[in-house]
């Protein structure tokens, strides 16, 4: 079981007093908070971060995530899970893996091109959400035993409230590039983006992300849980396949009614060795899971469980201590 670091850091109670002086107030808080100072906005990027924030005018969807949370009063939701799991006292944990140290730095705002910023922000948010979900599980009665961020084999290893041992892979469903480009073009032209897109694309993409998690869990002897996280923007794209329970019956197969955008996406993915035979492996891989869940991020780092499925054909639980 991981030792949870309790925190009395100022980031848990600080309130912005003057939004016109936001960056200076953030700078003050950063000086007192090791999550901000040593992980999210470390000294290696701080001066550049201040310069970009001070001199660059960008639309709201390109705003710094940490600064947006600070402005809107939700920073403590972002920093508390990192205090809990990735710090030892006031310093980063010694076993915090180097690529997590790299990916949890909010450096995506430095990219010059909009699409590049979007892609790098998705990576940053994905790594952040892994830690947020560990904290969400703990708040819902789970015991967190290990994290990939701290050297574990899987994103999260945890024990359920029923004392069942799980390995969990978290997949963040960030907005895909083609949808992002479509929205950016709409904002620039003033023309609305029509509809939800092809719903079978959404269905296929959910299956793809569950498959990706299942493959990463394939060597695990514990119960395997694929946990997908989406946001409000993408929810409309995904909610009908979820709410109408399209993903409930075996065999699991991609729909042939998806659009050319899906065909292009999966063709590119199949060039990677791990996805080369995805159609043939899809049903077997997903059927090896004990459960899959889909969570929605409702606002700044609050989550609701929108769908779950237990695959009943799996063996009985591996209980803690077996």
Whether the Cβ atoms of residue 295 and residue 228 lie closer than 8 Å to each other? yes
Alpha-carbon distance values, 209 to 203, 214, 275 (Å): 10, 9, 11
Region label for 221, one of left (φ > 0), alpha (ψ between -120 and 50) or beta (otherwise)? alpha
* Distance separating alpha carbons of residues 120 and 117, to the nearest angstrom: 5
> Per-residue pLDDT for the chain (322 aa), expressed as one digit of tens each?
776 666 789 999 999 987 778 999 999 999 999 999 999 999 999 999 999 998 876 665 678 999 999 999 999 999 999 999 999 988 999 999 999 999 999 999 999 888 899 899 999 999 999 999 999 999 999 999 999 999 999 999 999 999 999 999 999 988 777 777 777 776 666 665 554 568 888 899 999 999 999 999 999 999 999 999 998 777 777 888 888 888 777 789 999 999 888 899 899 999 999 999 999 999 999 999 999 999 999 888 899 999 888 885 554 333 322 2
Give per-residue pLDDT as tens, 56-82: 766 656 789 999 999 999 999 999 999
Query: Within 13 A of 232's CA, how many CA atoms are on the CB side?
Result: 6
DSSP 99-136: HHHHHTS--GGG-SSHHHHHHHHHHHHHHHHHHHHHHH
With CA atoms as reference, report the closest residue to 87 among 6, 170, 1.
6
| Sequence-separated (6 or more) residues with CB below 8 Å from residue 104 | 39, 40, 82, 86, 124, 127, 128
Report helix, strand or coil for 293.
strand
Sheet strand arrangement including 143-147: 143-147, 156-159, 165-172, 223-231, 291-299, 302-310
Q: Which residues of 15-50 are buried (b: 16+ CB within 10 A; e: fewer)?
A: eeeeeeeeeebbeebbeebbbbbbbbbbeebeeebb
Give per-residue pLDDT as tens, 99-137: 999 999 999 999 988 889 989 999 999 999 999 999 999
């Amino acid at each position: 079981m991981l030792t949870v670091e309790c925190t009395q850091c100022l980031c848990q109670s600080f309130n912005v007093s003057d939004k016109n002086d936001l960056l200076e107030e953030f700078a003050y808080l950063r000086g007192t908070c090791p999550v901000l100072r040593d992980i999210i906005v470390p000294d290696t990027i701080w001066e550049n971060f201040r310069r970009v924030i001070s001199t660059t005018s960008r639309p709201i969807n390109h705003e710094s995530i940490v600064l947006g949370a600070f402005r809107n009063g939700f920073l403590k939701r972002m920093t508390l899970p990192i205090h809990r799991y990735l710090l030892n006292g006031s310093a980063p944990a010694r076993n915090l893996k180097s690529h997590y140290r790299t990916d949890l730095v909010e450096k995506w705002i430095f990219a010059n091109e909009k699409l590049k910023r979007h892609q790098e922000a998705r990576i940053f948010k994905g790594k952040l959400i892994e830690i947020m979900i560990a904290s969400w599980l703990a708040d819902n009665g789970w015991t967190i035993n290990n994290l990939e961020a701290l050297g574990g084999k899987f994103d999260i290893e945890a024990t359920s409230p029923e004392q069942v041992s799980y390995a969990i892979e978290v997949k963040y469903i960030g907005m895909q590039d083609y949808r992002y480009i479509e929205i950016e073009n709409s904002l620039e032209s003033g023309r609305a983006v029509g509809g939800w897109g092809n719903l079978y694309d959404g269905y296929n993409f959910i299956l793809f992300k569950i498959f990706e998690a299942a493959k990463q869990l394939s060597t695990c002897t514990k119960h395997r849980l694929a946990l997908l996280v989406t946001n409000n923007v993408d929810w409309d794209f995904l909610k009908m396949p979820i709410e109408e329970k399209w993903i409930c019956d075996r065999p699991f197969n991609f729909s042939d009614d998806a659009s050319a955008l899906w065909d292009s996406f999966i063709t590119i993915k199949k060039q990677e060795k791990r996805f080369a035979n995805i159609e043939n492996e899809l049903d077997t891989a997903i059927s090896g899971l004990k459960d899959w869940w889909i969570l929605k991020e409702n606002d700044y780092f609050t989550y609701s469980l929108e769908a779950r499925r237990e695959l009943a054909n799996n063996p009985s639980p591996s209980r803690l201590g077996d």
